[in-house]
Amino acid sequence: MIKKIDNNKIGIIYFYIHFVVEVLSFYFLYSNYKSGIVWLIPLIYDSFAFVPQALIGYISDLRKDINIGLIGILLFFIGYIFFLYIDVSVLIPLFIICLGNACLHVSGAEATIKYGNGKLSNTAIFVAGGSFGVMVGRLLSDSLTFGSILFVPLVSMIPLIILTHEETKNLTGYTKYSFLKKNVNSYIAILIAFFVVIIRGYMGYGIPTSWNKTTQEMILLFTTMGIGKALGGILSDKFGIRKVAILSTLLSIPFLCCGDKLMLVSLFGICLFSMTMSITLGIILSVLKSKPGLSFGITTIGLFLGTVPIFFIKLTFIYNVIMIIVFSIISSILLGSILKGEK
């Protein structure tokens, strides 16, 4: 099959798609924060947007003819019609939008993984788009009163999803991912990656950022997260995944711990901390070579498990610092033990 999409463009295409998906998701979430079940909304969102991605990815791996992305867009249409025009419980559009979010995440992951040919840059760029979308969705929830306008970016995704699905459904680039040392046990490698994702999900909410009080500072925070996620894959392809995994994890420690009241210090640590996003996916892909959708879904389950404690535990500054130091060191040791050094 002759590819019509340039390798460098697939990441940008799905950066945009991921951006739109999170704009739509977080516009909806923050528009409903004044409801009586405000505490449940983000927990339900994390549950139904993250956890089903493993099953959806597994189905997509088995049935390459199914366009999971188009299903996701249809679900967003239905969810937004309920949200904007039909007087029902907020839970109904919430469930539908969550599943649409999950489908489009799997679609983007599979497309960028298949086009990656053993490299992480495309997938890292795709993942980075979400941070910018979260930021814009939150901002629009305070300023955009005519929510129907969001159907325009939703429709704009349709031709991109159709084109990229047709181009990628028969590609086999996912078989070329190989980041593990020889003789590393496959189950241990997946468990390590899963553990590191859980820790990253948990620590992401525990990073001390008392400086984050204004809209401008929130924009800087999410922009830095997005840049870090993209750099993780780009630098891994250039310098080697093991170096980036160990150095980004260890170097982030002093900046995260000392940046509570120092924005620039904190942002540098957050950028480094965010780099492991694509690295853990690369580990799982190295084991489950024929299942890119399932591989991505496993990481999102880990993210969900990492975020659950923050809904029930109030984190103190000292506790956060201790957790950052201990778990960052453990993560770097574990990642270094299984990742091979060469590019």
- Per-residue pLDDT tens over the stretch 142-180: 888 888 999 999 999 999 999 898 888 778 777 888 999
- Could you say which of 1.20.1250, 1.25.40, 1.20.1740, 2.70.98 is the CATH number of the domain covering 177-338? 1.20.1250
pTM confidence score: 0.92
Terminal-to-terminal C-alpha distance of the chain: 28
**Low-confidence residues of the chain: pLDDT under 70:** 1-4, 6, 33-39, 342-343
The residue assigned the tokens 């996912």 is 174
Which two three-digit tokens encode residue 297? 């879904």
Strand partners, 339: 180
pLDDT tens-digit readout, 86-120: 988 888 999 999 999 999 999 999 999 988 888 99
Per cent of the chain over pLDDT 90 is 62
Contact 108, 185 (CB under 8 A): no
The residue assigned the tokens 């190295």 is 286
Cα separation of 209 and 135, whole Å? 16
In Å, how far are 5, 132, 293 from 18, measured between CA atoms? 18, 9, 16
